[in-house]
Amino acid sequence: MSKRRDKRQIKNENINTAKRESRREFYLICALIILATVAVYWQVGGFKFISNCDDNIYVQDNQWVRGLQPDAIRWAFTSGSKVGATWMPMVWMSYMIDGDICASLNSGSTEPDPRVYHTTNLLLHIACALLLFAILSRMTGWRWGAAFVAMLFAVHPLHVESVAWIAERKDVLSTFFWMLTMLAYLRYIELPGRLRYALVLIAFIFGLMSKPMLVSLPLIFIFLDFWPLRRMSQSRIAGLIIEKIPLLILSAAASVVALITQRSAEALTPLSIYPLGIRLANASVSSIVYIRQMIWPSGLAFYVPHPGESLPVWQVGASAVLLIALTAGATYAAKRKPYITVGWFWYLITLLPVIGIVQIGRQAYADRYTYIPLTGLFIILTWGISDLSRRVSASRVLPGLACIMILTLIFCAHRQAGYWKDSTTIYQRNVDLIPINPIAHANLGFAFWDKHDKPAAIRHFRTALEQDSTLVGAHIGLGYAFEDKGNFDAAIEQYTQAVRLEPKSAQAHNNLGVLLERKGDLKQALTHFEAAAHLCPDNELMRENAEMLRERIGVGR
């Protein structure tokens, strides 16, 4: 009896030792992920806001995000969508919490401190990477494979834009809820129940309230059921689809809300500018460009102008053929290499909402659009290299190869993050990479203007207008320059041109109103002040300009 007890005791001790070692390994990997991420992004703590490109609209000039107050929360759920052309109340509330932190750090001052907002983005990015590691490790049982995928997610240069740009809080926050939804789904699968399913729905709703990018998650769950969860069988397919119906309904509702919000904000680029054929062509090319950039992340530009009809036919054709071939190959691999199927369709499905079929803005593609999609390709890369190494008996070199890859990416991502330190640096990098880029030149002009380098600012405003004479921002910038020199007639001409090109430019209306009031044309000035106040009801200065001029000339509302 004593011998049996001894054997049982030894067995239990071995099990406990193995569990302790497993926990140590888990925490070691988490620590490595954190260290690698911090090695790339520690510098963002000293970065500034990126002016004239959403940071000012979302945070710097937005009085609603100075703190988490009842009126501000109400604004986040109602009028906030007018600012970002997206219904994202969770993002606004996260900025409000940052505003409270700024006030506590700066002796009650409500002035936004970019260090706080950058740090929050970084913490959310780290949390996303750690959750991805924990989820994949639990799903697949291969801890080091999950670690490599999470490390790629954490330090790939394509993800820098989402982390280092304060305005892209919606990326890191929505992905945080994406990961929480996946974790809740995994726990629900392990022990099904109404409460656990309710947690899936709650996390998913919070994600949709951060960014509509999550609409594709229910479809990803179906692929994850196939691999690595292996829940898929002919007898269970119907049940698995029924299980996703509440999530699919929420996705459909979020898609409708997103379209209505973007249409009401006139953020959708009309088909008259980019017809469907051009959108499909650019989508095909962009999908392949992202793969190339994942493999070789060089020349990453902040803003890439949409090519319109200028895409070479051979490039469109080659991209389309390659996409079809890769999709066919991934489908064929379903039985023998299911990770290829799941990884590829993860990439395609999550890329679909941002690939440009529904075009917002005039960019061809953007690094931030890959924040979630690349995970699918990282899975293919990781499991594929493992399979290949076993075939050629090269398993021993895998750890060294993985370390070299990660260290190389850390170096590249650190350098890429450095371009985001301020407006001048990121826009200068943009025009260096893509000289024919009117929007980047105009933004660089404003960045130089803020630094009081007026000759450089004027040079870039003029370059922008030479490349695109219809660019409203460049006309406004040149108007500033003429106004600064005292040439008010020339400034009025620029602001008038801006209003003609974009009647809904509140800034152009306000600037024009100021100069018309100075010239004594009070009625016309009031017309433009009222237009500005109507277009930007949350802008206190524009409201005051209209109210003060009404009182001056004795006109009622």
Give dist(CA 146, CA 496) in Å, integer.
Answer: 57
The domain containing residue 153 runs over which residues?
A: 18-418
Judge if 123 and 163 occupy the same domain. Answer: yes
Kind plus residue range of the DSSP H or E element containing 479? helix 472-484
Q: Give the CATH number, domain containing residue 500.
A: 1.25.40.10
Judge if 331 and 219 occupy the same domain. Answer: yes
Judge if 235 and 311 occupy the same domain. Answer: yes
Residue 44 lies in a domain: yes
C-beta separation of 86 from 215 below 8 A: no
C-beta separation of 405 from 148 below 8 A: no
Judge if 367 and 439 occupy the same domain. Answer: no
Judge if 345 and 213 occupy the same domain. Answer: yes
Q: Which two tokens stand for residue 68?
A: 């988490």
Number of domain units in the chain: 2
Residue 424 lies in a domain: no
b/e per residue, 142-180, with b = 16+ CB within 10 A? bbebbbbbbbbbbbbbbbbbbbbbbbbbbbbbbbbbbbb
Judge if 359 and 310 occupy the same domain. Answer: yes
C-beta separation of 511 from 490 below 8 A: no
Judge if 84 and 139 occupy the same domain. Answer: yes
Q: What does the pLDDT look like over 313-359, one tens digit per residue?
A: 999 999 999 999 999 999 999 999 999 999 999 999 999 999 999 99
Which among 369, 371, 370, 359 is positioned nearest to 306, based on CA atoms?
A: 359
Q: What does the pLDDT look like over 208-226, one tens digit per residue?
A: 999 999 999 999 999 999 9
Judge if 458 and 354 occupy the same domain. Answer: no
- Indicate the residue among 389, 418, 447 that finishes a domain: 418
pLDDT digit string (tens) for the chain, length 557 residues: 555 556 666 656 666 666 788 899 999 999 999 999 999 999 999 999 998 889 999 999 899 999 999 999 999 999 888 888 899 999 999 999 999 999 999 887 888 999 999 999 999 999 999 999 999 999 999 999 999 999 999 999 999 999 999 999 999 999 999 999 999 999 999 999 999 999 999 999 999 999 999 999 999 999 999 999 999 887 689 999 999 999 999 999 999 999 999 988 888 889 999 999 999 999 999 999 999 999 999 999 999 999 999 999 999 999 999 999 999 999 999 999 999 999 999 999 999 999 999 998 899 999 999 999 999 999 999 999 999 888 777 677 888 999 999 999 999 999 999 999 999 999 999 999 999 999 999 999 999 999 999 999 999 999 999 999 999 999 999 999 999 999 999 999 999 999 999 999 999 999 999 999 999 999 999 999 999 998 888 788 899 999 999 988 876 55
Judge if 413 and 443 occupy the same domain. Answer: no
Residue with tokens 């299911």: 338
Give dist(CA 475, CA 470) in Å, integer.
Answer: 8
Judge if 64 and 180 occupy the same domain. Answer: yes
Residue 10 lies in a domain: no
Residue 360 pairs in a beta bridge with 268
- Relative orientation angle of helices 338-351 and 276-295, to the nearest 10 degrees: 130
Residue 106 lies in a domain: yes
C-beta separation of 503 from 520 below 8 A: no
Which among 538, 532, 448, 419 is positioned nearest to 52, based on CA atoms?
A: 448
Judge if 444 and 410 occupy the same domain. Answer: no
- Indicate the residue among 393, 418, 443 that finishes a domain: 418
Residue 12 lies in a domain: no
Judge if 290 and 400 occupy the same domain. Answer: yes
Residue 426 lies in a domain: no
